[in-house]
Amino acid sequence: MFTSCLVDDTDETLEAVANTPYTIGFSQQVANESYFEDIGPIEAGYNVVVIGGQDGSDPSQDITVSYTVNTELSSATEGVEFDFVDNSGSLTIPAGSDFGRFNLLINTGGLNETMPTRLVLDLTAADSTGAPAVVAASNSRIAITFVGCNSQLAQEDNNFTDYFVQLTREDGGSYNGNEVIEWIAPNQFLTESTGFWGVNTIAPDTSMNFEVICGEVFVPNQGLAQGFYSNEVYGVNLDGPDGLVDLETLNFDMSYIITFGSGPLRHDVTYTRL
How far is it, in rounded angstroms, from Cα 224 to Cα 172?
A: 20
Tell me if residue 6 falls in helix, strand or coil.
helix
In a domain, 155, yes or no: no
Where the chain has pLDDT below 70, the residues are: 1-19, 54, 155-158
Residues 133 and 194 in one domain: no
Task: Give the per-residue pLDDT at 7.
Answer: 43
Task: Give the per-residue pLDDT at 23.
Answer: 93
Long-range CB pairs of 123-127 (<8 Å, 24+ gap) are 123/24, 123/25, 123/26, 123/48, 123/65, 123/66, 123/67, 124/66, 124/67, 124/68, 125/65, 125/66, 126/22, 126/24, 126/63, 126/64, 126/65, 126/66, 127/63, 127/64, 127/65, 127/66
Domain that holds residue 107: 20-147
Residues 171 and 74 in one domain: no
Task: Give the per-residue pLDDT at 157.
Answer: 58
How many other CB atoms are there within 10 angstroms of residue 71's CB atom? 8
In a domain, 69, yes or no: yes
Task: Give the per-residue pLDDT at 19.
Answer: 67
Tell me if residue 108 falls in helix, strand or coil.
helix
Residues 186 and 259 in one domain: yes
Domain count, the chain: 2
In DSSP terms, which residues pair with 23 in a beta bridge? 52, 134
Contact between residue 224 and residue 231 where contact means Cβ atoms under 8 Å apart = yes
**Domain boundary, last residue among 109, 126, 147:** 147
Q: What is the mean pLDDT of the chain?
A: 89
**Domain boundary, last residue among 87, 121, 147:** 147
In a domain, 11, yes or no: no
H or E element that contains 250: none
Tell me, what CATH number does 232's domain have? 2.40.128
